[in-house]
Chain A
């Protein structure tokens, strides 16, 4: 079975500070993708960052970066220089092979001005 676990239901961060959201997963597939999605309040779900499992280098997109530890099956998201617009639900997701995404339960991030 494929599972994704986000152990932090809620997190908060001061504006301009750095925050890390945790995600662990389990899969028996050797070929898979990992994603972080952002869902702002009452707005569309959008992709934040993706990581191919076969790539050892951690993905980076501007202020967003991941720490991908394949052996530990860990995929955390770091947000640097947090902004008010970063406030949202963040979902970690696993795509094992040719099957649908498996989502974690989400982490609600609040940004404090």
Chain B
């Protein structure tokens, strides 16, 4: 089983709050990714990183930001949460051209 962790697993928060979703991996992978997924639906890539101090936006326009200061850590921040941000957020990592390993996800509800 892959060693990739996400916290919190569930979060209910009010509109306008700032939140940070944490993602860590212990595999030393250079590449890390954030996806947004409504339950049972397709995945949308929102951010990715190919190494420290390198971040890119994905296909889905997002109001979130990311940082990559350490190889193992790739947090996602929403400066002002809105009900439209209610979704599941999946973090993943990979090395080279091979498979991506996924974390367990954070289920976010914005009230």
A interface residues with partner B (beta carbon < 8 Å): 31, 33, 35, 37, 43-47, 50, 89, 91, 95, 97-98, 100-101, 103-106, 108
Best-surrounded residue of B33, B41, B42, B104 (most CB of chain A within 10 A): B42
B103 touches A44 (CB 8 A): yes
Task: Report if A100-B45 is in contact (Cβ < 8 Å); known contacts: A50-B98, A89-B40.
Answer: yes
Among A44, A50, A89, which residue has its beta carbon within 8 angstroms of that of B102?
Answer: A44
Question: Which A residue sits closest to B56, measured CB to CB?
Answer: A100
Among A35, A44, A50, A108, which residue has its beta carbon within 8 angstroms of that of B104?
Answer: A44
Measured between beta carbons, the chain A residues less than 8 angstroms from B97 are 31, 33, 95, 97-98
The total number of A-B Cβ pairs within 8 Å is 41
Measured between beta carbons, the chain B residues less than 8 angstroms from A89 are 40
Among A100, A104, A108, which residue has its beta carbon within 8 angstroms of that of B48?
Answer: A100
Min CB–CB distance B64 → chain A (angstroms): 16
B99 touches A47 (CB 8 A): yes
Instruction: List 16 extra interface pairs beyond A98-B97, A105-B41, CB under 8 A.
Output: A33-B99, A43-B104, A44-B105, A45-B90, A45-B102, A46-B102, A95-B97, A100-B48, A101-B33, A101-B45, A101-B100, A103-B42, A105-B42, A106-B40, A106-B41, A108-B40
- What are 5 A-B interface contacts by the 8 Å CB criterion? A33-B97, A45-B92, A91-B43, A105-B41, A106-B41
Measured between beta carbons, the chain A residues less than 8 angstroms from B105 are 44
A106 touches B102 (CB 8 A): no
Min CB–CB distance B91 → chain A (angstroms): 11
Measured between beta carbons, the chain A residues less than 8 angstroms from B102 are 37, 44-46
Among B42, B99, B100, which residue has its beta carbon within 8 angstroms of that of A106?
Answer: B42
- Interface assignment of B58: CB less than 8 Å from any CB of chain A: yes
Question: Which B residue sits closest to A37, measured CB to CB?
Answer: B102
Question: Which B residue sits closest to A6, measured CB to CB?
Answer: B42
A37 to B92, CA, bound (A): 13
Measured between beta carbons, the chain B residues less than 8 angstroms from A35 are 99
Interface residues of B in 60-111 (CB under 8 A from A): 90, 92, 97-105
